[in-house]
Chain A
């Protein structure tokens, strides 16, 4: 009944035409092979369930010996390897020997697994065809497995394994603990076991009363699991595609394994069982559980996906047309993209890059210190089994992510300009500063929410563990503050004419070694232009404030028992963090919005006034000046001149004036009346012509003006 069901269902999609995709051979021809394959797989499942029963009676080594012997006997009879075909060389004999040893070990493991976790789980885990395993490995380890479908398949596979491991209620472990010999607590085997013990023979399972009664089961196992499967697999992989073969095969195996897992001990399947058992006991071992069903479904899905033909190479790039006019594609795409670089070399190179410059070096050292502290904390947490320590360690790791981002930004900002990043990567620092600012705001928000919640309902705190941890964190962060504020002053000295910074720089020096963070919180507000370092600094500052807050609140709680102190402290800290971040975010926003750099505003106004006075200049339009990154201030301007001056001289004068004003990446477009005439001649759009004539009008007006002058 089941095999009919399986065969029908499987023949359905195979036989039904009208599928999308690449052109297929009409699949009606395959139907008989598919039915054959499914039937064989079904029988194989029967055989494995049978062998599980057998293994309860027979020792595993003897079982495998008999199995292999019987298989070899039949195969030698059919294949006649010695009498027909070429003679085997000595080299081949060695290979055969190796293969045999490996095969033995694998089947030993296989059947040992079978005894341990039952036929259903063994089938689910073991019966995967080669291509499924290969494509799984290629997804997991090469990264270019072939599209999202394969990734999904691999994810399903992993989920299935996890389901089997975690959510399966097969209390294997408990049983293993009860019976050191293995698990034979099914009443039947137990009976057998006691019978053996009663007979007084040595405690060896293999001593079965009559080997004769085992002939039928052994024959079925040998025939179903080994011989039939071998031949049918061989035929099917020749006649139909390998992936189809794999798909249908594994589907049938898993489905029939599920069915048998439910019905094996049921009276319905009595006639299937070769081992005649008098008494039916409702088996309690290795029954179906929700986890197994879910994982079987996931296994089926993943086998289905992973064995489907790889869609790789469909992303070919069109290179041209053949003489016949058919398009030619290049499918070699990703073979060229992977430049092999050994990992130690890569690490060495990037370390060298990091240590080259001051900013990234400082961040890197501090990151190392922070990580060290975190791992010590985590280690102690695991050692002493303290959840508070572990969660604090995770919190530190989380904070490290901001440092990592700062490090990356500092590293990337030195990359050479490319086509896409035509000004260079310097602006990444500003973006990173902005993200760090947002990060801090989010942190402040969460701390605020938490403290408000605690203010309403102050919890009882266990304070004795908090103090050493927070003191350690405080020390680490203080080191960071010292290092960064030092770097800060350096960059601060380098940046010129930043109007905010001058009045704060003194407080900076005086407070830089005090442990009270408050004096600092406004210090970096107008510091150097390196937003990235400012973001990192603020982050460290926020951490320090957190440690200080914890210490203060701990003292208050221990001395006076004020449990309200803790939320109040964190409330205060949240507000402090928030206020200290605002200037950073504001500055970064202004740069990102291409604002006229505030510190150059006055000079640029003067410069534009000076430009007005250049001889032969009528007017200028579209003056755009913006800060691109810490050391690039870019500008573009359009200048209209009278038709009798030399453009290059104007360019030179304007360039000089604007360079003095601090713009170092400049583009000047010098326009004469002739330009507008040309443009109105060239452009066909009515709108453009209108705009151009307007420009010309204004020019004429100015020209008149100048002529009068």
Chain B
């Protein structure tokens, strides 16, 4: 199909779009494998649902939902292939990596909702236990188990493999690890299979099948029909236990949170950044994961007025770039309208500085805000909490002293004397900066408290 021409047409039916996107993925052979598995899965699920209604067993239904979850995971796999093909569009400027995360999240949540339904059903069944026919129970169990294991082991499902590695262990895994630690003490060869953690999907498939086998046995032997409900609850709880950590992990990615495991590294880098020459503080740090793995972030860096912005920007970017791939750094200076400190070569620049750029006086409002003694304006918000990560996004731009309507140009040379008058203020500001520098060497010893204390230290010349 002529994908390129179709792509231009803005109005297409939903299915047409879907078909066209599918064309993108269909080139890959793995896609066809996944589709094959999907078809097998659908037939398998159909049979299982039929057997569920014929046996009237809710435990088998709960187990069938795991097969349906497999279908979702196949879809996720397909989506991840699609994501690899797609480039970022202007509307989705970060690319479609997040779709993978969303798919994982949705499928784990759906599995949990299914488990919730099972729980509800089984509570109702406890009130009135129907009779269970064991005819197809064992057959269904083994069909589902073998199919699940076959799918799990033959298809490399990148997103789920990543999540199951990265998310915290489920209680099921913990118990198995705990048990197998003692087993491996006796037979060390098994440790490669069981330790440190088993694949959660394989684990839940095996455990569910085990529960179903027990159910079958007890019903066959003693007609304990309540066992069916009990094992349905057990399978539902295990599903919860397995899916919950994964949905928490992917949900946290979707919530744009800083992943806890990189916080240590980030701290270290930010501390390095805050000790760079000219950097006064780092704030409004937002770091979050884009898809699985790649980190994005933005940060505001306040620098000294005489520091070279591009130099600092390059250094900050260079430091953070090792960890954060999509990075935006905003450099800001307080009081940048006044000329910078006349020291060394800059002093020689003052003259052509004033004829090149006309330095406008900030409007009166701006002056009023300034404390004449300090070179930095007092922060409008309450003093920041102990860590500058805490600065919420609302007070983003403390930089703005002018509003946009005042054009800085065209105020003309009639304000030419102002730089000199402000230089008097500047003279007062010098010890303040000196104090900052002195302080900074001190606060590097206090981990996690950079950038906020020098603000307090500054007003005391």
Q: How far is the CA of A649 from the CA of B99 in the complex (A)?
A: 38
Contact in complex: A652, B400 (CB < 8 Å): yes
User: Does residue A594 face the partner (Cβ distance < 8 Å to B)?
Assistant: yes
Distance (Å) between the CB of A443 and the closest chain B CB? 9
- In the complex, chain B residues whose CB is within 8 Å of the CB of A679: 314, 317-318
User: Does residue A644 face the partner (Cβ distance < 8 Å to B)?
Assistant: yes
Complex interface residues of chain B between 305 and 355 (CB less than 8 A to chain A): 308-311, 313-315, 317-318, 321, 326, 328-333, 336
Q: Which residue of B lies closest to A645 (CB)?
A: B357
User: Does residue B393 face the partner (Cβ distance < 8 Å to A)?
Assistant: yes
Q: Which residue of B lies closest to A147 (CB)?
A: B178
Contact of B328 among A390, A632, A653, A667 (CB under 8 A): A667
- In the complex, chain B residues whose CB is within 8 Å of the CB of A596: 90-93
Q: How far is the CA of A638 from the CA of B262 in the complex (A)?
A: 25
User: Does residue A353 face the partner (Cβ distance < 8 Å to B)?
Assistant: no
Q: How far is the CA of A421 from the CA of B259 in the complex (A)?
A: 9
Contact in complex: B309, A416 (CB < 8 Å): no
User: Which of A431-439, A494-502, A531-539, A698-706 contacts its partner?
Assistant: A431-439
Distance (Å) between the CB of A623 and the closest chain B CB? 7
Number of residues from A at the complex interface, CB < 8 A:
82
User: Does residue A420 face the partner (Cβ distance < 8 Å to B)?
Assistant: yes
Contact in complex: A20, B185 (CB < 8 Å): yes
Contact A149 to B404, CB < 8 A, known contacts A394-B120, A646-B357:
no
- In the complex, chain B residues whose CB is within 8 Å of the CB of A391: 124, 127
Contact in complex: B178, A149 (CB < 8 Å): yes
Contact A678 to B311, CB < 8 A, known contacts A152-B178, A421-B257:
yes
User: Which of B107-115, B149-157, B429-437 contacts its partner?
Assistant: B107-115
Q: Which residue of A lies closest to B318 (CB)?
A: A682
Interface string of B378-391 (1 = CB under 8 A from A): 00000000010111
Q: Which residue of B lies closest to A632 (CB)?
A: B393
User: Does residue B269 face the partner (Cβ distance < 8 Å to A)?
Assistant: no
Q: How far is the CA of A104 from the CA of B409 in the complex (A)?
A: 99
Contact in complex: A446, B117 (CB < 8 Å): yes
Contact A594 to B393, CB < 8 A, known contacts A421-B255, A667-B284:
no
- In the complex, chain B residues whose CB is within 8 Å of the CB of A628: 256, 393
- In the complex, chain B residues whose CB is within 8 Å of the CB of A224: none
Q: Which residue of B lies closest to A446 (CB)?
A: B117
- In the complex, chain B residues whose CB is within 8 Å of the CB of A339: none
Complex interface residues of chain B between 94 and 116 (CB less than 8 A to chain A): 94, 96, 98-99, 102, 106, 109-110, 113-114, 116
Contact in complex: B98, A652 (CB < 8 Å): no
Contact of B286 among A149, A422, A589, A668 (CB under 8 A): A422
- In the complex, chain B residues whose CB is within 8 Å of the CB of A19: 185
Q: Which residue of A lies closest to B408 (CB)?
A: A649
Complex interface residues of chain A between 616 and 663 (CB less than 8 A to chain B): 622-626, 628, 632, 634, 636-638, 644, 646-649, 651-653, 655-657, 660
Interface string of A14-42 (1 = CB under 8 A from B): 00000111000000000000000000000
Q: Which residue of A lies closest to B260 (CB)?
A: A420
Contact in complex: A592, B393 (CB < 8 Å): no
Contact of A669 among B256, B313, B400 (CB under 8 A): B313
Q: How far is the CA of A402 from the CA of B327 in the complex (A)?
A: 38
- In the complex, chain A residues whose CB is within 8 Å of the CB of B285: 422
Contact in complex: A682, B332 (CB < 8 Å): no
- In the complex, chain A residues whose CB is within 8 Å of the CB of B98: 592-594
Q: Which residue of A lies closest to B314 (CB)?
A: A678
Contact in complex: B175, A678 (CB < 8 Å): no
Contact in complex: A592, B399 (CB < 8 Å): no
User: Does residue A401 face the partner (Cβ distance < 8 Å to B)?
Assistant: yes
User: Does residue A103 face the partner (Cβ distance < 8 Å to B)?
Assistant: no
Contact in complex: B389, A671 (CB < 8 Å): no
Contact in complex: B399, A652 (CB < 8 Å): yes
Q: Which residue of B lies closest to A674 (CB)?
A: B310
Interface string of B387-431 (1 = CB under 8 A from A): 101111110110110111000100000000000000000000000
User: Does residue A418 face the partner (Cβ distance < 8 Å to B)?
Assistant: yes
Contact A595 to B92, CB < 8 A, known contacts A655-B400, A667-B299, A671-B313:
yes
User: Does residue A316 face the partner (Cβ distance < 8 Å to B)?
Assistant: no
- In the complex, chain A residues whose CB is within 8 Å of the CB of B284: 667
Contact of B113 among A395, A439, A668 (CB under 8 A): A439
Q: How far is the CA of A634 from the CA of B263 in the complex (A)?
A: 22
User: Does residue B190 face the partner (Cβ distance < 8 Å to A)?
Assistant: no
Contact in complex: B286, A423 (CB < 8 Å): yes
Contact in complex: B396, A664 (CB < 8 Å): yes
Contact in complex: A656, B404 (CB < 8 Å): yes
Contact in complex: A682, B315 (CB < 8 Å): yes
Contact in complex: B330, A668 (CB < 8 Å): yes
Contact in complex: A419, B317 (CB < 8 Å): no
Q: Which residue of A lies closest to B107 (CB)?
A: A438
Contact in complex: A665, B120 (CB < 8 Å): no
Contact A442 to B298, CB < 8 A, known contacts A152-B175, A592-B98, A651-B399:
no
Q: Which residue of A lies closest to B94 (CB)?
A: A594
- In the complex, chain A residues whose CB is within 8 Å of the CB of B317: 679
Q: How far is the CA of A422 from the CA of B113 in the complex (A)?
A: 29
Q: How far is the CA of A321 from the CA of B389 in the complex (A)?
A: 30
- In the complex, chain B residues whose CB is within 8 Å of the CB of A401: 116
Task: Among A439, A636, A683, find the residue whose CB has the most chain B CB atoms closer than 10 A.
Answer: A636
Q: How far is the CA of A230 from the CA of B185 in the complex (A)?
A: 35
User: Does residue A290 face the partner (Cβ distance < 8 Å to B)?
Assistant: yes
Q: Which residue of B lies closest to A625 (CB)?
A: B93
Distance (Å) between the CB of A435 and the closest chain B CB? 6
User: Does residue B288 face the partner (Cβ distance < 8 Å to A)?
Assistant: yes
User: Does residue A275 face the partner (Cβ distance < 8 Å to B)?
Assistant: no
- In the complex, chain A residues whose CB is within 8 Å of the CB of B403: 656
**Contact sample, A vs B, 18 pairs, CB 8 Å cutoff:** A20-B182, A417-B392, A422-B285, A422-B288, A423-B393, A424-B392, A427-B256, A431-B254, A589-B102, A623-B93, A646-B357, A652-B400, A655-B397, A656-B400, A668-B328, A674-B314, A678-B313, A683-B321
Q: Closest 9 A-B residue pairs measured CB to CB? A: A656-B404, A678-B314, A667-B298, A636-B328, A20-B185, A665-B393, A648-B336, A419-B389, A674-B310
Known contacts A594-B98, A669-B329; 4 further A-B pairs (Cβ under 8 A): A622-B326, A655-B399, A657-B404, A670-B330
Q: List residues of B whose CB falls within 8 A of some A CB.
A: 53, 90-94, 96, 98-99, 102, 106, 109-110, 113-114, 116-117, 120, 123-124, 127-128, 171, 174-175, 178, 182, 185, 222, 224, 251-252, 254-258, 260, 263, 284-288, 298-300, 308-311, 313-315, 317-318, 321, 326, 328-333, 336, 356-357, 387, 389-394, 396-397, 399-400, 402-404, 408
Q: List residues of A whose CB falls within 8 A of some B CB.
A: 19-21, 147-149, 151-152, 167, 290, 387, 390-391, 394-395, 398, 401, 416-424, 427-428, 431, 434-435, 438-439, 442, 446, 453, 589, 592-596, 601, 622-626, 628, 632, 634, 636-638, 644, 646-649, 651-653, 655-657, 660, 664-672, 674-675, 678-679, 682-683, 688
